[in-house]
A and B are shown apart, each in its own frame.
Chain A
Amino acid sequence: MKKYVDMYVNQTVFQPKEQIDKILEIISELGFSVICVSLDVKDRRYIFEEIKKKAENFNLELYRRIDLSPKNVEDLKNKLRQFRRKCEILSVKCVEKKICTWAARDRRVDILNFPSFEYLKNFTESTANLAVEGETAIEIWFKQFLGVRGIKRARLIAETRRVAKIALEKGVKIVIDSGAGNIFEMRAPRELGALGYLLDIPEKHMELAISETPLNIIKTNLCKLSPNFVLPGVEIVDMEEENWLKKKETDT
């Protein structure tokens, strides 16, 4: 059975605390198997462990996600150093062209996020080329399309369509997720994919955007976070320390 992923569910979705079970039940009914909870940088552990424990009852896998909002490139580098090994998914809010360019080519960044319509212009063909090199994906938030009407929505659709077109041409990975700040902003996986019809994304890519692409990102990062990871493609398979100690004893 196919696993569907919502790469962005804000921790505020699980408030108030008494509703956690009910909310997890709805998420599970919607058809998700994996969700990434966006955590506040300051209190990362506080709510996550509690939700994760309860999510096991609903066969939901939960992963930590941190969204960085750097002020400039230096700030971005510092924050990447600080948070990369503390969560499974790391995204950068591309509020400036320079930040977007740096984030795109940095392999530590998983996702380029454009928090509102105005920032989509930061994604150009050159950024796309860097994103391919850096293996970063771009994220489309379903929530953005829910909150606007009329001309604003038309312009948002047009601009996102432009971004999606560049991404598809250059081979940049696309992730479509809810971007939900409350449970009513969440949608079932196929409904998230339905956004692709508005953005002229082929059906094949829509399926990838809600399932395989996010799963691959999580899988790669879990490997990187494991203590046996050395470099991409190189990991410690077995420790020979015991054998080495025995050999030393027999030699003496």
Chain B
Amino acid sequence: MVKKERNRYIVFKLYSSNDISKENLIKDMWRNLLTIYGEYGASKTNFWLIEYDEETKKGIVRCTHTTVNMMRTVLALTTKIAEAPVIVKILGVSGTIKTAKEKFY
């Protein structure tokens, strides 16, 4: 039987002249998600920051397969993390963490 809700893993890279910590990243991503889609919308995404490497500034976020586009918008509309200006670039989307890491990380 096909699972109703499947996860997707979005690999992203940050471009910023400042160092960005994992805590600040989580905080600001949640804030953006809640600002744009509200609590109800955010509840549907199953959003979580799986991994973030502070050196390479690459990370993986989890969401459901139906909310990938919502997450794309949220990441695209992220302008600042801990007051530091950033560009978020999505490197790829995958169905498993393993493939996400192999292909894009």
Give the B-binding residues of A (Cβ under 8 A): 26, 29-31, 142, 145-146, 149-150, 182-188, 190-192, 194-195, 197-198
Contact = CB atoms under 8 A, between A and B. Distances in A.
Contacts of A29: 89
A191 B85 contact: no
B73 A198 contact: yes
Interface stretch (B20-28, B48-56, B75-83, B96-104): B75-83
B89 A184 contact: no
Contacts of B69: 194, 197
Given A30-B87, A191-B89, A184 B79 contact: yes
Q: Give the 10 A-B residue pairs with the shortest CB-CB distance, closest first.
A: A191-B76, A184-B85, A194-B72, A197-B69, A188-B89, A194-B76, A194-B73, A146-B79, A197-B73, A187-B76
A184 B87 contact: yes
Contacts of B70: 197
Contacts of A30: 87, 89
19 contacts: A26-B87, A30-B89, A31-B89, A149-B35, A150-B35, A184-B87, A185-B79, A187-B87, A187-B89, A188-B89, A190-B90, A191-B76, A192-B76, A194-B69, A194-B72, A194-B73, A195-B76, A197-B73, A198-B73
Contacts of A195: 73, 76
Contacts of A149: 35
Nearest to A31: B89
B88 interface: yes
